């Protein structure tokens, strides 16, 4: 089963015939030999076919593509021995199981975050950055002009609040790009939000830091960064938090998040191992491998 619109080739194996494609949003690839299904699952989800696909496919907005037969049919599939197919197929099946587990855990944590036991708490930008003061704070600031009062003072305070916030939004915009990697690092006292490896937000000694981190990571897992996703939208995401006085629920969310972090590492390691096998099947040179990896 293959997604009809995606940022690249996305394939899942239906080995029991449980589903049927609708030929609009989901298509099917049916191998001539059923024994090749797991092998094709591994190869077609790997970087090499995706690299070739993006060279010939028709792009859509925001980094998406139409996944159509005319762009899939030319993709080369390496000839492989039965042993090589087994090596690829077994790893592909293990990865599909891990991705299924990842999906289930993401849904599990989302249900808890959106449940009635959680309370929504929206924060102001000043919660992140001390210099992003509110209009009221600017109006009371020692920096206000002495001769300003009433509407003139309010207008000045609004302008200063907008300028101080825009500085941070500009920094976020400069880091964001299509498919940008958003990561969250934390311990019990420190929390960092990174875009493509650069820390754009750092918080210290906030109450419930692990719970905040779990929510930021959930946003990173479930949000597709497109051309229209800017700093203002990112800011709204990280300021819209939920909390609870239920310690059991809080701990459950944190434990699920920790399991997801471990699973993410396991998936990355398994994908790297499988990709190295597939690079060899394609007989790629080190330079060609670097080219393929660099385009991901």
Q: What share of the chain is helix, strand, coil (3-state, %, to 5)?
A: 55, 10, 35
Joined together, the tokens standing for residue 147 give 């001769």
> What is the model's pLDDT at position 187?
92
**CA dihedral of 19, 23, 25, 26, whole degrees rounded to 10:** 40
> What is the model's pLDDT at position 182?
94
Each residue's pLDDT tens digit, 15-33: 988 888 876 788 888 888 8
Each residue's pLDDT tens digit, 184-232: 999 989 999 999 999 999 999 999 999 999 999 999 999 988 888 999 9
Across the chain, mean pLDDT equals 93
Other residues' Cβ atoms within 10 Å of the Cβ of residue 25: 10
Q: Is the pTM of this model over 0.75?
A: yes
Residue 91 has pLDDT above 90, yes or no: yes
- C-alpha Rg value of the chain to the nearest Å: 24
Q: 26: Cβ–Cβ under 8 A, 6 or more apart, which residues?
A: 1, 2, 3, 4
Give the C-alpha separation, 135 to 143, whole Å: 13
> What is the model's pLDDT at position 208?
93
Each residue's pLDDT tens digit, 51-71: 999 999 999 887 889 888 899
More confident residue, 19 or 168: 168
Q: In the predicted model, what is the mean pLDDT of residues 162-183? A: 92
Q: CB of 28 within 8 A of CB of 72?
A: no
């Amino acid at each position: 089963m293959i997604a009809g619109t995606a940022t690249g080739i996305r394939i899942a194996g239906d080995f029991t015939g449980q589903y049927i494609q609708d030929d609009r949003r989901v298509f099917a690839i049916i191998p001539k030999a059923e024994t090749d299904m797991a092998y094709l699952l591994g190869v077609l989800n790997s970087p090499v076919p995706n690299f070739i696909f993006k060279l010939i496919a028709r792009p859509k907005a925001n980094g998406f593509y139409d996944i159509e037969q005319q762009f899939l049919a030319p993709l080369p599939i390496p000839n492989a021995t039965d042993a090589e197919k087994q090596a690829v197929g077994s790893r592909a099946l293990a990865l599909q199981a891990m991705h299924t587990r990842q999906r289930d855990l993401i849904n599990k944590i989302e249900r808890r975050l959106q449940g009635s036991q959680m309370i929504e708490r929206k924060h102001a930008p000043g919660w992140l950055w001390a210099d992003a003061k509110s209009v009221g704070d600017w109006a009371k600031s020692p920096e206000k002009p002495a001769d300003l009062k009433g509407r003139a003072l309010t207008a000045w305070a609004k302008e200063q609040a907008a300028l101080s916030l825009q500085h941070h939004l500009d920094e976020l915009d400069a880091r964001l790009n299509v498919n940008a990697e958003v990561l969250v690092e934390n311990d019990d006292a420190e929390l960092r939000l990174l875009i493509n490896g650069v820390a754009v937000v750092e918080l210290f000694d906030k109450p419930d830091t692990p719970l905040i981190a779990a929510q930021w990571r959930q946003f990173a897992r479930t949000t597709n960064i497109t051309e229209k996703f800017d700093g203002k939208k990112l800011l709204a995401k990280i300021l819209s938090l939920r909390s609870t006085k239920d310690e059991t629920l809080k701990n459950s969310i944190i434990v699920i998040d920790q399991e997801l972090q471990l699973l993410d590492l396991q998936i990355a390691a398994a994908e790297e191992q499988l990709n190295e096998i597939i690079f060899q099947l394609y007989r790629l040179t080190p330079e060609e491998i670097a080219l393929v990896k660099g385009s991901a």
